[in-house]
Amino acid sequence: MSTFNAVHLAKRPTSDIIPGETFEVKVHPTPKETDLKDGQVIFQSNYLSLDPAMRGWLKDARSYVPPVKIGEIMRGAAVGKVVGSKSSKFPVGSYATATCGWAELAVVSDKYVEKVELPSNASIADSLGILGTHMDCRSLCGYLETILRPRFPITSSGDLIKTGLSAPRSRLQPINRTPLFKISDNSHGFALTTQGLTGLTAYFGILDVGQVKAGDFVVVSGAAGATGSVVGQICKIKGARVLGLAGTDDKCAWLINELGFDAALNYKEQNFPKNFRDATKGLIDIFFDNVGGDILDMALGRAKPHSRFVMCGGISQYNAAEAKGPKNYMMIVAMRIRMQGFIVTDYESQFVEARRELAQWMSEGKIKGKLHIVRGGLEKAEQALVDLYKGVNTGKLLVEIKPDADTKSKL
Ligand SMILES: NC(=O)c1ccc[n+]([C@@H]2O[C@H](COP(=O)([O-])OP(=O)(O)OC[C@H]3O[C@@H](n4cnc5c(N)ncnc54)[C@H](OP(=O)(O)O)[C@@H]3O)[C@@H](O)[C@H]2O)c1
pLDDT tens per residue, range 34-83: 999 999 999 999 999 999 999 999 999 999 999 999 999 999 999 999 99
Q: How far is CA 332 from CA 217, 277, 329, 356, in A?
A: 18, 18, 6, 35
- Residue 81 and residue 93 in contact, taking contact as beta carbons nearer than 8 Å: yes
Domain match, 339 and 392 both? no
Domain membership of residue 143 (yes or no) is yes
Distance 290 CA to ligand 1 centre (A): 5
Domain membership of residue 145 (yes or no) is yes
pLDDT at 155: 22
- State the residue range of the domain holding 44: 3-166+370-410
246 pocket-lining for ligand 1 (C-beta < 6 Å): yes
Task: Indicate which atom in ligand 1 lies nearest the CA of residue 293.
Answer: 32
Domain membership of residue 98 (yes or no) is yes
Alpha carbon dihedral 388, 101, 354, 200, in 10-degree steps, equals: -20
Domain membership of residue 183 (yes or no) is no
Domain membership of residue 112 (yes or no) is yes
* Total tally of structural domains belonging to the chain: 2
Domain match, 252 and 389 both? no
Domain match, 149 and 292 both? no
Domain membership of residue 305 (yes or no) is yes
Domain holding 212: CATH number? 3.40.50.720
Domain membership of residue 181 (yes or no) is no
Domain match, 145 and 215 both? no
Domain match, 121 and 213 both? no
- Residue 87 and residue 40 in contact, taking contact as beta carbons nearer than 8 Å: yes
pLDDT at 154: 24
Domain holding 404: CATH number? 3.90.180.10
Domain match, 160 and 212 both? no
pLDDT digits (tens, 9 = 90+) for 259-301: 999 999 999 999 999 999 999 999 999 999 999 999 999 999 9
pLDDT at 160: 25
Model pTM above 0.85? yes
**Integer Cα distance of 303 and 300 in angstroms:** 5
Domain membership of residue 129 (yes or no) is yes
Q: Is the dihedral of CA 159, 163, 165, 168 positive or negative?
A: negative
135 pocket-lining for ligand 1 (C-beta < 6 Å): no
Which residue among 55, 291, 319, 389 has the greatest number of ligand 1 atoms within 8 angstroms of its CB, and so is best to mutate?
291
227 pocket-lining for ligand 1 (C-beta < 6 Å): yes
pLDDT at 1: 84
290-293, long-range: CB < 8 A, 24+ apart = 290/220, 290/221, 290/222, 290/225, 290/227, 290/228, 290/314, 290/315, 291/221, 291/222, 291/245, 291/315, 291/316, 292/316, 292/317, 292/323, 292/324, 292/326, 293/317, 293/324
210 pocket-lining for ligand 1 (C-beta < 6 Å): no
Among protein residues, the one with the nearest Cα to ligand 1's atom 36 is 391
Distance 2 CA to ligand 1 centre (A): 38
**Integer Cα distance of 373 and 102 in angstroms:** 16
| Below-70 pLDDT ranges, the chain | 117-127, 129, 131-195, 405-411
Domain match, 121 and 157 both? yes
Distance 215 CA to ligand 1 centre (A): 26
Distance 51 CA to ligand 1 centre (A): 8
Distance 394 CA to ligand 1 centre (A): 11
Domain match, 130 and 227 both? no
Among protein residues, the one with the nearest Cα to ligand 1's atom 9 is 313
pLDDT at 150: 33
Domain match, 68 and 146 both? yes
Distance 223 CA to ligand 1 centre (A): 8
